[in-house]
């Protein structure tokens, strides 16, 4: 079996699966139980000055009968006394010396407060500190959480307060509630962070009750924005992970990344690893199914590594990074077209409808080889979809909506064009290509829009 153990900025654990800072890591009872079942590490629910939490706290996003496709929460940091949290952290680390015990922390923006907090955290024997710069509700209104993560200067300043007094690794947890994730990541590096983690929850309103008009969750008749998490956020998390992996110290693995955001299966975990994450944090899936999912995560990832011939997890970390590219580097000569397997087709016509009304009109419906119009067809024979390969642009939509696995595939064909990218075209046509700042200046001077 492949070796799943990791070394994350000096923090070792038997596998990459850590519980994220959240309700599942609220107490020694929970973390002990998780470690007994095989979790490699845990990031303690954020500690700081105790707060008063509201009731209710969670809202669920259900789609097509699937529960908790995503979850929205308005729960704040730990509402338990700081002394009790620190005492339990010390107990857990003493019982589990081989597991990663990381303390998530959030305090007021005062250097003395942070220095005192660091000293007290280090006294527990914890392996690392994670700075919570991402909470989008409650704490941001008080100048903490995402209010720090959204301002690079604050991020650097507070990180320096901590790293200047800490003797254990410092991880900065970034907020996704920002236009570009790279500036705060660079700010954390400038503050001498040993690692970063992402993503925290996404600002959201989960829904409105159509009968009572109450927002979800409802707190005494009122509702507001909260943190969005769960399987639905995974594409956003993977995108932001890919972006920060373009920063040189991170690309070179001098600064490791702990990835999170929608991890529920071992396949999700493998995707984060391939894009450069070293450790993996899980929250919503545990809140939904419990600690027992660790068996499937570990077994699935181990079997996949064996299939790939990898002896250790380190062999696959970042393996997909070279494939991540800017749009202007894509080969414009590459072309695929849809192919329909007539034997698998169930004649649902969904591929035709979506292509005709939602895409590029590249699929025809035929009866006895003759093209027909679905709206006017009244015959008893089921129409057969046929791809017009000359018109097909290879958008993939038909294969995505087809309900039959393997019925529609996208196959590469010769486009007849020489390989070229938009970047190369731009370089060849400097006289007709305006830069964005020139476009905006021209628009302003002439009072017109440029499309």
Provide the token pair at 132. Answer: 């919570």
Question: Residues near 444 by Cβ (< 8 Å), separated by ≥ 6?
Answer: none
Provide the token pair at 49. Answer: 């000055």
Q: What is the DSSP string of 8-44?
A: ETTEEESSSEEE-SSGGGSSHHHHHHHHHHT--EEEE
CA-based nearest residue to 45, from 104, 91, 115: 104
Phi-psi region of 202 (alpha: psi -120 to 50; beta: other; left: phi over 0): beta
Choose the catalytic residue: 135, 155, 283, 407.
Answer: 135
Q: Is 271 helix (H, G, I), strand (E, B) or coil?
A: helix
Residue 308 in contact with residue 316, Cβ under 8 Å? yes
CA-based nearest residue to 349, from 337, 326, 367, 322: 367
CA-based nearest residue to 360, from 335, 332, 397, 412: 397
Active site residue 135: yes
- DSSP category for residue 246: T
C-alpha dist (Å) from residue 133 to 27, 63, 101, 175, 294: 22, 30, 19, 6, 27
Residue 176 in contact with residue 135, Cβ under 8 Å? no
Active site residues: 135
């Amino acid at each position: 079996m492949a070796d799943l153990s990791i070394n994350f900025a000096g923090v070792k654990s038997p596998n990459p699966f850590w519980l994220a800072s959240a309700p599942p890591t609220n107490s020694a009872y929970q973390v002990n139980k998780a470690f007994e079942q095989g979790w490699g590490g845990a990031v303690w629910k954020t500690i700081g000055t105790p707060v008063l939490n509201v009731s209710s706290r969670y809202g669920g996003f259900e789609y097509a009968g699937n529960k908790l496709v995503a979850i929205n929460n308005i729960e704040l940091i730990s509402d338990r006394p700081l002394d009790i949290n620190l005492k339990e952290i010390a107990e857990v680390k003493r019982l589990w010396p081989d597991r990663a015990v990381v303390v998530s922390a959030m305090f007021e923006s005062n250097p003395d407060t942070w220095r005192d907090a660091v000293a007290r955290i280090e006294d527990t024997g914890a392996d690392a500190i994670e700075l919570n710069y991402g909470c989008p509700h409650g704490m941001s209104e008080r100048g903490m959480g995402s209010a720090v993560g959204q301002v690079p200067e604050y991020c650097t300043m507070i990180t320096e307060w901590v790293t200047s007094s800490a003797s254990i690794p410092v991880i900065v947890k970034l907020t996704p509630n920002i236009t570009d994730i790279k500036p705060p990541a660079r700010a954390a590096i400038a503050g001498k962070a040993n690692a970063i983690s992402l993503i925290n929850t996404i600002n959201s309103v989960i829904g409105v009750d159509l009968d009572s008009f109450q927002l979800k969750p409802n707190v005494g008749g009122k509702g507001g924005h909260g943190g969005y998490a769960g399987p639905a956020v995974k594409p956003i998390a993977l995108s932001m992970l890919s972006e920060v992996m373009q920063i040189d110290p991170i690309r070179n693995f001098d600064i490791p990344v702990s990835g999170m955001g929608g991890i529920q299966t071992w396949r999700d975990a493998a995707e984060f690893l391939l894009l450069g994450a070293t450790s993996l944090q899980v929250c919503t899936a545990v809140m939904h199914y419990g600690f027992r999912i660790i068996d499937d995560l570990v077994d699935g990832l181990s079997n996949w590594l064996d299939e790939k011939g990898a002896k250790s997890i380190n062999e696959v970390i970042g393996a997909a990074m070279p494939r991540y590219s800017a749009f202007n580097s894509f080969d414009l000569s590459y072309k695929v077209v849809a192919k329909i397997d007539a034997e698998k087709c169930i004649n649902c016509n969904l591929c035709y409808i979506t292509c005709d009304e939602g895409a590029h009109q590249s699929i025809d419906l035929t009866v006895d080889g003759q093209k027909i119009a679905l709206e006017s067809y009244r015959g008893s024979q089921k129409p057969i979809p046929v791809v017009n390969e000359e018109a097909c642009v290879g958008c993939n939509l038909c294969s995505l909506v087809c309900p039959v696995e393997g019925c529609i595939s996208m196959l590469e064909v010769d486009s007849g064009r020489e390989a070229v990218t938009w970047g190369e075209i731009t370089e060849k046509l400097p006289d007709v290509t305006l830069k964005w700042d020139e476009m905006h200046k021209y628009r302003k001077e002439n009072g017109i829009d440029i499309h």
